[in-house]
Structure 1
Amino acid sequence: MSSSKSNNGPRQVPPPPNSRAGNNAYTRFIPREELQGFASWMPNTFGDNPTAQSSVRAAVPEPEPVSTESAAAIIQAQMHAARQDGYRDGYRDGLVALESFKQSFAQQLAGQFGLVLTNFDHELGALEQHIATSVSRIATQLARQVVRSELTARPELVVQVAIDAVNAVLMSARQITVYVHPEDQAMIAGGAGEVLAARGARLVSQPNIDRGGVLIESDAGTVDARISARWNQAVQALGTQVDWTPGDD
């Protein structure tokens, strides 16, 4: 009974010697005669199966044919969409270009206007200076005419000029000589005789002295009270260049 089981059932092969049977799971070698109903498998088995390929092709639906009218409509829609995209892109780019042009144009105008305003300011300043100089010169010329008219109308003013000039001489001065115009000598002698005598001054007529003026010389210095000298001092203080020239108006 035991021998028949061993002949028909699977053969029990003991584990190889020197193996750790107590620690590892039981393993055995299956002889070839015990293997039945198997075949070797290769990777190209499925690809070479025509039945499988036909089933795959049958699972993929065939595309439906498109009519000429539908194709034309699709092309027309695509062209319309492309035109709309081009219009939007062109409009956007045009706005960007316009904004850039406006900024550039504004900067250019600002630079030009700034230069114009700067030049205008310089020209206006020069014009104001020219007007101020002209007004000052005209006013000085008018003042010169007034002084001449006053000397002509009131020649006795030269007496006070002589007194002031003598008093301006240092008290320690000696050999004082007062030069006046011949037509003013008599008026000065009558109006300032006491002052001249007190300082020991000598009154001398000099034709080259303008009427209304006095020139005093002494050992201590000179006092120039001539009309031309006093006039030049006045116009220098005013910043004008109007000389005292008799008879040029």
Structure 2
Amino acid sequence: MRNYTRFIPGEEIGAVEQWSFGAVDTAAQLMAAQVKAREEASDQVTNDAVRQEGYAEGFVQGHAQATLEAQRQITDFIANQGQETARSFAQLFVSVQAQQSDAEQVVARGVLELACELARQVVRRELSVNPHALQPVIREALGLLMAESKTALIRMNPVDIEVLEDVLRSEFSGLSLTLLADATVARGGCLIESAGTVVDGTIEKRWMRAVANLGLNPPWEESVVEQ
């Protein structure tokens, strides 16, 4: 093992410089600065993370509050405006139903009136081609009256008397009939009197009774009296 211990002569001491620790101190300061910078950077990162977390929590809370507010508004709409809309719709539905019912009634009445007009034409046609059309009416009326009396006065249009006189006297030979020509009685009708009772068998009266069953009251348009 070598011995490096050496005595330094005095003349060599002047060439020796004093050692300075400045460089060491500077390195320590640089290291300390770096450590501080890292700590500050770490603190900044931590602060940024905390801030971002705060932003996120605030966003979530804000979104939740907005959702609750929207739900509250929807609930309010259903409770208030929704009910009002439902009532308005119900009223509109009732109104439409009423209008539809009125329209149906108008159409139904129009159909009935048309049917009555057709019936009127059919009756007129029957009276014009069938001179004996009045005979069943007289038969029915006499059947009601003869229970109280055996005499009757029958007023008819002169044309009907010419057609039915012999037929009636033959059919009701057991009765005392007086046939009276009356031009005011339209063809197809008659007035029969017996024991103070009058049976109105005129075409106008019979027509009114028939159409009254349909809820109508159109008058019979009298045909031209044939002479």
Determine if contact 1:163/1:195 at 8 Å carries over to the other structure. no
**One-letter amino acid matched to 2:63:** Y
| Equivalent position SS for 1:119 | helix
Provide the rounded CA distance (Å) in 2 between the counterparts of 1:102 and 1:124: 35
**One-letter amino acid matched to 2:214:** L
**One-letter amino acid matched to 1:87:** F
Structure 2 counterpart of 1:216: 192
Higher helix share: 2
Say if 2:119 is the partner of 1:143.
yes
Q: Which runs of 5+ in 1 are unaligned?
A: 1-64
Deviation of 1:108 after TM superposition, in Å, equals 4.8
The correspondence of residues 40-189 of structure 1 with structure 2, limited to 5 A, is 69=41, 72-103=44-75, 104-105=77-78, 106-173=82-149, 176-189=152-165
Deviation of 1:144 after TM superposition, in Å, equals 1.5
Provide the rounded CA distance (Å) in 2 between the counterparts of 1:246 and 1:92: 86
Provide the rounded CA distance (Å) in 2 between the counterparts of 1:184 and 1:141: 24
Alpha-carbon distance change, 229 to 85 in structure 1, aligned in 2, over 3 angstroms: same
Q: Deviations over 1:23-77 (max 9, x none)?
A: xxxxxxxxxxxxxxxxxxxxxxxxxxxxxxxxxxxxxxxxxx9966555445433
Deviation of 1:175 after TM superposition, in Å, equals 5.3
Deviation of 1:239 after TM superposition, in Å, equals 1.9
Determine if contact 2:191/2:199 at 8 Å carries over to the other structure. yes
| Equivalent position SS for 2:219 | coil
Q: Deviations over 1:80-115 (max 9, x none)?
A: 233222221222222223334444255454334333
| Equivalent position SS for 1:178 | strand
TM-score (norm 2): 0.69
Q: 1:231 aligns with which of 207, 211, 215?
A: 207
Determine if contact 2:148/2:195 at 8 Å carries over to the other structure. no
**One-letter amino acid matched to 2:99:** E
| Equivalent position SS for 2:174 | helix
**One-letter amino acid matched to 1:93:** Q
The correspondence of residues 29-48 of structure 1 with structure 2, limited to 5 A, is none
| Structure with greater Cα Rg | 1
State the superposition RMSD in angstroms. 2.7
Determine if contact 2:151/2:177 at 8 Å carries over to the other structure. yes
| Equivalent position SS for 2:200 | strand
Identity of aligned residues (%): 24
Q: Which runs of 5+ in 2 are unaligned?
A: 1-35
Determine if contact 1:175/1:201 at 8 Å carries over to the other structure. yes
TM-score (norm 1): 0.63
Structure 2 counterpart of 1:44: none
